[in-house]
Amino acid sequence: MSWLRNIASGLRSLFRRQQVDRELDEELGAYLEMAVAERMRNGLTHKEALRAVRLERGSLELTKEVVRSGGWESVVDTLWRDLLFAARMLRKSPGFTLVAILTLALGIGGNTAVFSVMNTVLLRYLPLPNPQQLVFLRLPNGPPDGLSTTGDDDRSFSYPVFEALRKEHAVFSDLMAYAPLAVDKVAVRTGEDPEEAEGDMVSGNFFSGLGVSFTRGRGFALEDETAHASVVVLSYSYWTTRFGRSPSAIGQTIYVKGVPFTVIGVTAQGFYGIEPASSTDFWIPLQNRPELNAWNEEGPLSNLYSNPKWWCIQLIGRLVPGVTESQALAKLDPDFQSAAHIGLGTPDPKAKKTILAFSSTQGIQGMRDAYQKPIQILLAMVGLVLAIACANVSMLLVARNATRAREFSVRMALGAGRGRLLRQMLTESFLLVGGGAALGWMFAISGSQALAAWSGMEIPFVLDSRVLLFTLAISISCAIVFGLAPLRSAVSVPVGVTLKTSNATAYRDQRSSWSGKVVVASQMALCLILLIGSGLLVRSLRNYQGLPVGLRVDGLLVFGTDPFSVHSDEEKEHFYQNLLARLRETPGVESATLVSHRLGSGWGWNSVWAIDGVKPQGPFSEIGMSANHIGPDFCHTLGIPILRGRDVADADARSAPKVVLVNETFAKRFFPKGDALGHSVGKKEPESRFTIVGVIGDSKYKRVDEKAKPTLYFPFAQNTPIPNMQVELRTQGNPEALIPSVHAVLHGLDPNLPIQKPLTQRAQFEESYSQARLFARLSIFFGVIAVLLVATGLYGTLAYRVDRRTSEIGVRMALGAQRGQVLWLILRESLLVSGAAIVAGVPVAIAGTRLMRSMLFGVQPGDMISFLLALFGVILVALAASIIPARRAMRVDPMVALRYE
Amino acid sequence: MPDKPSDLVQGTLDMLILKTLALEPMHGYGISVRIEQMSKGVFRLNAGSLFLAIQRLERDGLIDGEWKATENNRRARYYILTKKGRKRLDSETREWGRQAAAIARILEASEG
């Protein structure tokens, strides 16, 4: 292996240089001595002999050089020397270096962070072996009619379908089933502390089929599924937060909704489950106990996951290598169709056909459509920031190299080739970019964490090898641009000119000042585009924030409860009455009420009702509208105005006459002339007839940006079965300060009960526009960086120009120019540059902002105010950046300036 | 007096060094003296090209070097041909013979 030998020998010369040099010295010494000795035998003196040898064989010093530079290691050595030299040059101007590295780090870090979001949401596969083979099973047409379905009805199947498809070994090497235990989280207790955690129940082959590896213990086996074993696997992050990564977690008991499970394994780090955009904390085998039904579904005992009419199971399959998706679907379809109709009788030939389809596991399931465009726009915005940053750094470099023109001229006069200078400048720029990229990577780590927190996603945005590659690619292109851009101006200076003139600034290249202005103008144009984009996003956010919600939002705390140990309506009513009574006595609580669908959570209850005295418009006898279960003092606690009638009271209990509140939209739509009070809404059964006792103001239900819909509010105990309720507390002080006392109250009622997702009502409503808020915050951040960069860039350029024109200004003033005229001379330059930027930037912005339409709320892409504000901002930045140089120019003393030359 | 020393044909130095070492292990100076003697003074080696070639051959694994005492009790680095070096010498010699013969034929033809 001669190349190995070559490398080893080269490394030896690099790292044991002294010894290698000594050996070479000794070898050449011996050579010289032998040569001289032979000449002396022929009768020459020592001195003559030395001279003869040198003439004949060449200088030994030169030989050493030749031998040293003969191997590959000499290239490394030169590079290393270049690097050291570059580092020394950069250390000499720490201000420049710091600014350049920080600027680059902001640009590179921002891009990396945003790209990490794109990577996670759109590009990345599940961190499992051969993820390309994995497919989610979907129902693009929805499930057949006549079933119980879940919120995810386009990807939920029945157990018979799973049983039929998992036998298709020619298609799937494994088909895994999973079902969430709740929409959000379920009550989990370890030791004394109840809390809520996200759990799935899964088939026995879930972990083995996906190829999940384990940090501790084992996954499930098929027997665990058939026996519905009481064992649980924890995720690495849950193991970390709950058990501090203690090995003794294995074998411990945790209670899921009060049912004991034994911990048997912990998954590997980086596996967050396969639920979209959320991280699963634990997994249990499929269970057939009513309290552990999928989706926290309550109801008759027969209605468990194996019921063919309860489509609650989600499926992910691993395709057999070599089977294409279309082949697989064709093979699966007959069995799927027959399994899908088990328990449903003969399918109606006129009904829509149920279709089986696959979706890729790349990115986050279901988020691709919603996020693709916004992420691309964010990436474009942060790309503009990087472009501005790059331009700044390259201008800094040009300016710096201009002041180093003498150094370059001297070096070229001493025989340094242009190639040598080029190499050195490239080394310097690689060093700068390397520093910027390293620092930027650190920014990106915290940046992507902040982005994950702001976007409300539970999974981290992973900085994996793809992101690293992206960062390296943009960094290297930056380095090459910087290295080359300043070179032209540096080496195109004729050596003679710079060396001859006493004043190093005397050589002025009209071209380079022109190109400097073009760079600044394009920077400002980019900044303008960015500011217009930010303005639109911020105005969208303000439009969301300004939406009236119809209630007093501040001073409200909302949290959820899941009293899983009480089952009958009687017990449940008692539980909630008891809970309200205790909460009302809690210090700090002004009033308390209940609501089944938390306001602003995005979830709601649509229901159909008949209204007495109102004819249905459609073919159905009942009218669809929104509905909610509420507790006593609902309007009083939330601050919703009562327009007619009364609020719900404690007396509106299960056994009391049935009543209902309606909102203003309901009253106006169905009783435009008369009075809604005293009418009733109901179903066919005579016992479900509710008398309207109050008309209350419209308030937002699912989201802040919804249109008002007719809405019914039922006293929670009167519309059975009683669902799980959310609690709303009104307080004078900080709502979140109530959380500990709420904990205590719940613990007093049942030690297994956690407090579910406590939030202020304001924060809850803000969730409806968390995406808009994220975009607005980011764009403000990008805008601020861009403005700072442009301001420093323009300031630098102008200051440099004023510096160079000092003598010109002196002459002008000596000839009678007024200070105002001098001021105008400088300001005019910066205004001209801004003008050019505006002329170039506005048309691009008009075209570009059209792409943002889907991200805007209540503003048009061509929004005048956003454009004007951005224009104003850019001109302000231009003026602010030129004030200091302009004042300096104004203060030039003609005498001093003229003596300068 | 022989003619002025001439430059080596490109790429032949390595072959000549290998050939010299095939006769017996030798130090750098010995190699240059031997080449000079065998070529009857036609080839005179510059120290720079000699040691550069030695470094190259050593890295390619064609020769091995070791420190030994000379007859005059001075330490010098002696080089010996490796197995690989001997193979290379054989192949290069054959190739050289072919090329030299071909060149000679061309030159004779043009004279005739």
Based on the domain organization, do A621 and A724 belong to the same domain? yes
CB atoms within 10 A of CB A617: 7
**pLDDT at residue A504 tops 50:** no
Q: What percent of chain A has pLDDT over 90?
A: 34
The radius of gyration computed from the CA coordinates of chain B, to the nearest angstrom, equals: 16
Burial class (CB in 10 A: 0-12, 13-18, 19+), A106: buried
Average pLDDT on A404-415 reads 76
State residue A717's pLDDT score: 92
State residue A630's pLDDT score: 95
Average pLDDT on A503-510 reads 47
Looking at the domain assignment, is residue B4 inside a domain?
no
What is the C-alpha separation between A165 and A356, in angstroms, rounded? 11
Looking at the domain assignment, is residue B7 inside a domain?
no
For residue A210, the surrounding DSSP H or E stretch is: helix A206-210
Flag if A28 and B47 touch (Cβ within 8 Å).
yes
Interface of A with B (CB under 8 A): 1-2, 5-6, 9-10, 23-24, 26-28, 30-31, 33-35, 37-38, 56-58, 60, 62-63, 66-67, 70-71
Identify the closest residue of chain A to B4 by CA–CA distance.
A56
Whether omega for the bond prior to residue A721 falls within 30 degrees of 0, making it cis, is yes
Flag if B77 and A60 touch (Cβ within 8 Å).
no
- Which phi and psi angles does A158 have, rounded to 5°? -95, 165
Strands A659-663 and A556-560: unpaired
Flag if A70 and B70 touch (Cβ within 8 Å).
no
**Which pair of tokens denotes residue B17?**
């060094």
Looking at the domain assignment, is residue B82 inside a domain?
yes
**In which residue are the tokens 């699966």 written?**
A332
State residue A493's pLDDT score: 52
Asked whether A407 and A103 are in contact (CB, 8 A), the reply is no
Identify the closest residue of chain A to B31 by CA–CA distance.
A31
What is the C-alpha separation between A476 and A104, in angstroms, rounded? 12
Question: What's the domain count of chain B?
Answer: 1
Structural domain harbouring B51: 13-111
Interface test with B, best of A2, A22, A24, A27 (most B CBs within 10 A): A27
What is the C-alpha separation between A203 and A166, in angstroms, rounded? 11
Partners of residue A231 on adjacent β-strands:
A262
Looking at the domain assignment, is residue A452 inside a domain?
yes
Question: In degrees, to the nearest 5, what angle opens at C-alpha A228 toward C-alphas A226 and A234?
Answer: 120
Asked whether A695 and A677 are in contact (CB, 8 A), the reply is yes
Chain A residues whose beta carbon lies within 8 Å of the beta carbon of residue B74: 30, 33-34
Average pLDDT on A620-640 reads 87
Average pLDDT on A443-461 reads 81
The radius of gyration computed from the CA coordinates of chain A, to the nearest angstrom, equals: 38
**pLDDT at residue A540 tops 90:** yes
Chain A residues whose beta carbon lies within 8 Å of the beta carbon of residue B58: 9
Looking at the domain assignment, is residue B25 inside a domain?
yes
Question: What's the domain count of chain A?
Answer: 4
Q: Which residues of A293-309 are buried (b: 16+ CB within 10 A; e: fewer)?
A: bbbbbeeeeebbbebbb
What are the tens digits of pLDDT across the range A749-806?
888 888 888 999 999 998 888 888 888 888 888 898 899 888 888 888 788 778 778 8
Identify the closest residue of chain B to A35 by CA–CA distance.
B29
Nearest by CB to residue A58, choosing from B46, B61, B74, is: B46
Flag if A28 and B29 touch (Cβ within 8 Å).
no
- A610 alpha-carbon distance from chain centroid: 46
Looking at the domain assignment, is residue B58 inside a domain?
yes
Burial class (CB in 10 A: 0-12, 13-18, 19+), A26: middle
Number of A–B residue contacts, CB under 8 Å:
73
**pLDDT at residue A811 tops 50:** yes
| pLDDT confidence tier of residue A510, bands split at 50, 70 and 90 | low
Nearest to A386 by CA among A375, A394, A397: A394
Q: Which of A403-412, A649-658, B35-44 has the lowest mean pLDDT?
A: A403-412
What is the C-alpha separation between A133 and A360, in angstroms, rounded? 9
State residue A502's pLDDT score: 45
Nearest to A547 by CA among A704, A412, A400, A424: A704
Looking at the domain assignment, is residue A135 inside a domain?
yes
Flag if A71 and B51 touch (Cβ within 8 Å).
no
User: In this predicted complex, what is the ipTM?
Assistant: 0.84
Based on the domain organization, do A39 and A188 belong to the same domain? no
Say which DSSP state A72 is in: T
Based on the domain organization, do A741 and A786 belong to the same domain? no
**pLDDT at residue A506 tops 50:** no
Chain B nearest-CA distance from A427, in A, is 29
Burial class (CB in 10 A: 0-12, 13-18, 19+), A276: middle
**In which residue are the tokens 């792409």 written?**
A851
Which residues, other chains included, contact A236 with Cβ-Cβ below 8 Å and sequence gap of 6+?
A: A215, A266, A267, A268, A269, A270, A271
Q: Is B27 helix (H, G, I), strand (E, B) or coil?
A: strand
Structural domain harbouring A737: 562-754
Average pLDDT on A653-681 reads 91
**pLDDT at residue B5 tops 70:** no
State residue A507's pLDDT score: 46
Q: Is the torsion defined by CA of A428, A429, A432, A435 positive or negative?
A: negative
What is the C-alpha separation between A739 and A735, in angstroms, rounded? 8
State residue A442's pLDDT score: 92
What are the tens digits of pLDDT across the range B45-60?
888 888 888 888 888 8
Q: Find residues 15-74 of chain B whose CB sits inside 8 Å of chain A.
A: 27-30, 32-33, 44-49, 51-52, 55-56, 58-61, 70, 72, 74
Looking at the domain assignment, is residue A653 inside a domain?
yes
Nearest to A184 by CA among A592, A597, A517: A597
What is the C-alpha separation between A54 and A44, in angstroms, rounded? 14
Q: Please state the three-class secondary structure of A781-801 as a single string.
A: HHHHHHHHHHHHHHHHHHHHH
Flag if B48 and A66 touch (Cβ within 8 Å).
yes
Chain A nearest-CA distance from B98, in A, is 27
What is the C-alpha separation between A715 and A690, in angstroms, rounded? 10
Q: Is A310 helix (H, G, I), strand (E, B) or coil?
A: strand
Asked whether A723 and A650 are in contact (CB, 8 A), the reply is no
State residue A499's pLDDT score: 54
The residue ranking higher by pLDDT, A816 or A406, is A816
Flag if A31 and B47 touch (Cβ within 8 Å).
yes
**pLDDT at residue A456 tops 80:** no
What are the tens digits of pLDDT across the range A255-313?
998 899 999 999 998 888 888 778 899 999 999 888 888 888 776 655 688 888 888 89
| pLDDT confidence tier of residue A629, bands split at 50, 70 and 90 | very high
Q: Is A319 helix (H, G, I), strand (E, B) or coil?
A: strand
Flag if A27 and B55 touch (Cβ within 8 Å).
no
The residue ranking higher by pLDDT, A649 or A507, is A649
**Which pair of tokens denotes residue A234?**
């924890």
What are the tens digits of pLDDT across the range A160-197?
999 999 998 999 999 999 999 988 888 898 887 788 89
**pLDDT at residue A496 tops 80:** no
Nearest to A382 by CA among A443, A468, A427: A443
What is the C-alpha separation between B84 and B60, in angstroms, rounded? 9
Asked whether A332 and A168 are in contact (CB, 8 A), the reply is yes
Based on the domain organization, do A631 and A722 belong to the same domain? yes
Q: Is the torsion defined by CA of A220, A222, A225, A231 positive or negative?
A: negative
Nearest by CB to residue A71, choosing from B48, B59, B72, is: B59
State residue A900's pLDDT score: 59
| pLDDT confidence tier of residue A11, bands split at 50, 70 and 90 | confident
Nearest by CB to residue A5, choosing from B47, B51, B61, is: B61
Chain A residues whose beta carbon lies within 8 Å of the beta carbon of residue B46: 57-58, 63
Interface test with A, best of B51, B60, B66 (most A CBs within 10 A): B51
State residue A202's pLDDT score: 94
What are the tens digits of pLDDT across the range A564-620?
888 788 999 999 999 999 999 999 999 999 999 999 988 888 877 888 877 655 554
Looking at the domain assignment, is residue A193 inside a domain?
yes
Based on the domain organization, do A521 and A596 belong to the same domain? no
Asked whether A37 and B76 are in contact (CB, 8 A), the reply is no
Based on the domain organization, do A61 and A175 belong to the same domain? no
Question: Which among A360, A391, A412 is the end of a domain?
Answer: A360
Looking at the domain assignment, is residue A71 inside a domain?
no
Nearest to A857 by CA among A627, A539, A626: A539
Looking at the domain assignment, is residue A113 inside a domain?
no
**pLDDT at residue A454 tops 80:** no
- A369 alpha-carbon distance from chain centroid: 16
DSSP per residue, A361-379: -SSSTTTHHHHHHHHHHHH
What is the C-alpha separation between A461 and A121, in angstroms, rounded? 8
Looking at the domain assignment, is residue B5 inside a domain?
no
Based on the domain organization, do A698 and A742 belong to the same domain? yes
Q: Is A282 helix (H, G, I), strand (E, B) or coil?
A: strand
Nearest by CB to residue A5, choosing from B49, B59, B76, is: B59
Flag if B60 and A6 touch (Cβ within 8 Å).
yes
Chain B nearest-CA distance from A43, in A, is 18
Question: Which among A334, A360, A386 is the end of a domain?
Answer: A360
Flag if A66 and B51 touch (Cβ within 8 Å).
yes
What is the C-alpha separation between A669 and A248, in angstroms, rounded? 63
State residue A815's pLDDT score: 87
Chain B residues whose beta carbon lies within 8 Å of the beta carbon of residue A62: 48
Chain B residues whose beta carbon lies within 8 Å of the beta carbon of residue A38: 33
Which residues, other chains included, contact A480 with Cβ-Cβ below 8 Å and sequence gap of 6+?
A: A426, A429
Conformation bin of residue A304: beta by default, left when phi > 0, alpha when psi is -120 to 50 = beta
Q: Is A154 helix (H, G, I), strand (E, B) or coil?
A: coil
Based on the domain organization, do A213 and A318 belong to the same domain? yes
Average pLDDT, chain A: 85
Looking at the domain assignment, is residue B8 inside a domain?
no
Chain A residues whose beta carbon lies within 8 Å of the beta carbon of residue B75: 26, 30
Q: What is the CATH number of the domain that holds B103?
A: 1.10.10.10
Asked whether A351 and A145 are in contact (CB, 8 A), the reply is yes
**In which residue are the tokens 């303000």 written?**
A542
State residue A503's pLDDT score: 46
Flag if B55 and A70 touch (Cβ within 8 Å).
yes
Asked whether A106 and A792 are in contact (CB, 8 A), the reply is no
Calculate the CA dihedral of residues A381, A385, A387, A391 and round it to 10 degrees.
Answer: 160
Alpha helices by DSSP H, listed for B13-82, are 13-23, 28-38, 47-59
Based on the domain organization, do A800 and A748 belong to the same domain? no
Looking at the domain assignment, is residue A126 inside a domain?
no
Per-residue CA distances from A513 to A143, A687, A802, A812 (Å): 68, 87, 12, 20
What is the C-alpha separation between A480 and B91, in angstroms, rounded? 46
Based on the domain organization, do A719 and A685 belong to the same domain? yes
pTM for the whole thing?
Answer: 0.73
Nearest to A786 by CA among A534, A445, A462: A534
Based on the domain organization, do A535 and A597 belong to the same domain? no
State residue A492's pLDDT score: 56
What is the C-alpha separation between A454 and A468, in angstroms, rounded? 23
Looking at the domain assignment, is residue A634 inside a domain?
yes
| pLDDT confidence tier of residue A490, bands split at 50, 70 and 90 | low
Helices A465-491 and A368-403 cross at an angle (nearest 10°) of: 30
Chain B nearest-CA distance from A424, in A, is 27
Based on the domain organization, do A208 and A305 belong to the same domain? yes
CB-based contacts of A210-213 (< 8 A; 24+ apart in sequence): A210/A126, A210/A128, A210/A134, A210/A174, A210/A176, A210/A274, A210/A316, A210/A318, A211/A128, A211/A129, A211/A130, A212/A128, A212/A267, A212/A268, A212/A271, A213/A267, A213/A268
What are the tens digits of pLDDT across the range A839-880?
999 999 999 888 888 888 889 888 899 999 999 999 998 888
**pLDDT at residue A665 tops 50:** yes
User: Reduced to 3 DSSP states, what percent helix, strand and coil does chain A have, rounded to the nearest 5?
Assistant: 55, 15, 30
| pLDDT confidence tier of residue A48, bands split at 50, 70 and 90 | confident
